[in-house]
Amino acid sequence: MKNIIMVTGGTGYIGLWIVKKLLGKGYTVRVTVRDKNKKEKIELLKNIEKRSDGKLEIYEADLLKEGTFDKAAKGADAIIHVASPFTLKFKDPVKDLIDPAVKGTVNVLNAANKSGSVKKIILTSSVAAVHGDTVDMKNLGLKEFTEEHFNESSSKKHQPYYYSKVTAEKKAWELYESQDNWELVVINPSFVMGPMLTPYSISESIILIKELVGGKYFLGVPELNFGFVDVRDVAEAHIFALEKRDAKGRYILVERVESMMGLSDIIKKLYPKKFKLPLMKIPKWVVLLLGWVFGQPFKFVMKNVGYPLKFNNKKSVEELGLKYTDFETTIKDMVEQMKEMKLI
């Protein structure tokens, strides 16, 4: 009999792919949702179950409510904790980002402690927990970021999303060290792209593509660099981390680093003259003057525009055995699906 795996955030962009892969392998998957009454999300999960060999169980739980994960964790063999807010549009960084990320992690890991059954936890973190501003690499005298590095430059006021990820991950490692019942493996994906399993996704990745092809940045884009990875590879990495006994520590996931203009050029090559894509890369001094147009404060522009970025992904390849999807394929599959869903 296959093990019972509890998955938080199982209706989200990454989580759905993880659930699909787990069910496809015959696991019993316990998905926690905030509201069982959201029929479209529940039906989606059930439809995935119907086409698989696994068994789906749905539990209601809230990241901010202590004890609500206890029932789902009881009897589970492992937990994949994906649920955490990813949005760059928020009113209160503590209420909207930091509390759900940190308190949610504490509540889930405490549920594992109470379960008496959980032996392994896979935590979805981010490269945002590895570094904050792009200039960090230069300031630290690094040639690349590795799993050894932790973000020390973000705060509640500056890059609060990044701060929420590093704070939550550090809390997870702290709780791990205080017990000896379960192992902890952390997945640190870069900017996740690729096709979605639901038209209801509100991922920042989808928003970025919609804005790029929709002409928001037609006059030009800042020189911003990001690591990118396919959502299907991220899901696969979670499964590898779950199943491989020697998986340990953190795993940076990145297929490549690309600039905003580089991403635009890939779309332009795939779809010549199809979309209203950026015409040029905007000089930093112009971005500083017009930062409000891009919704970015002066400090962010100063510390992120125009700086190189590099990650080392060898650990994910050599220890997890991950084979990365080529980024052009990721973007093509994503754009094609968004066209089919009439999102662009």
Q: Which pair of structure tokens corresponds to residue 12? A: 């989200």
Task: State residue 279's pLDDT score.
Answer: 87
Q: Which pair of structure tokens corresponds to residue 187? A: 């997945």
Task: State residue 87's pLDDT score.
Answer: 65
pLDDT by 10-residue block (mean), the chain, 344 residues: 88 95 97 87 91 95 94 97 77 88 96 96 98 96 98 94 96 97 97 88 83 88 95 98 96 97 95 90 83 73 94 98 97 93 84
Helix ranges (H only) for 59-195 are 70-73, 93, 99-115, 136-139, 160-177
Cβ(302)–Cβ(134) under 8 Å? no
Task: State residue 293's pLDDT score.
Answer: 60
| Residue 165 a catalytic site member | yes
Whole-angstrom distance, CA of residue 208 vs CA of residue 267: 12
Q: Is the pTM of this model over 0.85?
A: yes
Q: Which pair of structure tokens corresponds to residue 65? A: 């409510």
**Nearest alpha carbon to residue 10 among 311, 256, 166, 238:** 238
Whole-angstrom distance, CA of residue 89 vs CA of residue 120: 33
Q: Please state which CATH class domain 4-340 belongs to.
A: alpha beta
Cβ(6)–Cβ(73) under 8 Å? yes
Among candidate residues 21, 165, 315, 332, the one labeled active-site is 165
Q: What is the DSSP letter of 311?
A: B
Give burial (CB, 10 Å; 0-12/13-18/19+) of 196: buried
Task: State residue 89's pLDDT score.
Answer: 67
| Sign of the CA dihedral with 94 first, then 96, 98, and 104 last | positive
Task: State residue 344's pLDDT score.
Answer: 81
**Nearest alpha carbon to residue 30 among 96, 78, 64, 63:** 78
